[in-house]
Amino acid sequence: MDLSVTLALSSPTEHGEQLRRRQHSLSELTYAREEDATKLETTRSRLLNVLKRHEDLKERLSRDSDKLIFERLQKEFEAARVAQTEEISIDDEQWNDGLLATIREKVHIEAERKAMVNLANIPTDSQFQSRTTYRIRNKVIYCLDGARIGIQYETFFAGRAL
């Protein structure tokens, strides 16, 4: 309905009452919008805080996990170094996929032999207990337990290994 039509159909007091009601409903609507905006901003702030804490926790856990893995690998490399019976130095030209295949085969044979010894209580043969380490420049390749190959990169500073 048009405002001019409303004026024609109602008395001045009724018209004043209608305007007051409209103004009151508009102020309630404005208040409701402001309240919703405040709630939305509060929710947004809380969500951002939760996401930030989640990222911090995820980063801390990954660092702790990396540290544990590093320490475990260091212990395994040290155990392989102690068990080493032979070290073979290799030139850059000899470092290829064929060498890795040979090392992988040796690691699997050793793992199978260990499993057979454990199952059958067969005494170990010292010939099969040999642990060979391969050195290519700053890389040292170890045969680790569990049919795994470990490659450790040695770092040097001022001519000394770190």
User: Where in the chain are the domains?
Assistant: 1-83, 86-162
Q: Is pLDDT at 136 greater than 80 in this prediction?
A: yes
Q: Which helix (H) or strand (E) holds 64?
A: helix 12-83
Is the pLDDT higher at 88 or at 24? 88
User: Which of 20-24, 129-133, 140-144 reaches the highest mean pLDDT?
Assistant: 140-144
Which value, to the nearest 10 degrees, does the dihedral of the CA atoms of residues 95, 98, 100, 102 take? -130
* pLDDT tens, position by position, 54-86: 888 888 777 777 788 888 888 988 888 888 788
Q: In this predicted structure, what is the pLDDT of residue 73?
A: 86
Half-sphere exposure (Cβ direction) of 145: Cα atoms closer than 13 Å: 12
- Is the predicted pLDDT of residue 20 greater than 50, yes or no? yes
Burial degree of 134 (CB within 10 A; 0-12, 13-18, 19+): buried
Span of 3-7, 40-44, 86-90, 146-150 with lowest mean pLDDT: 3-7
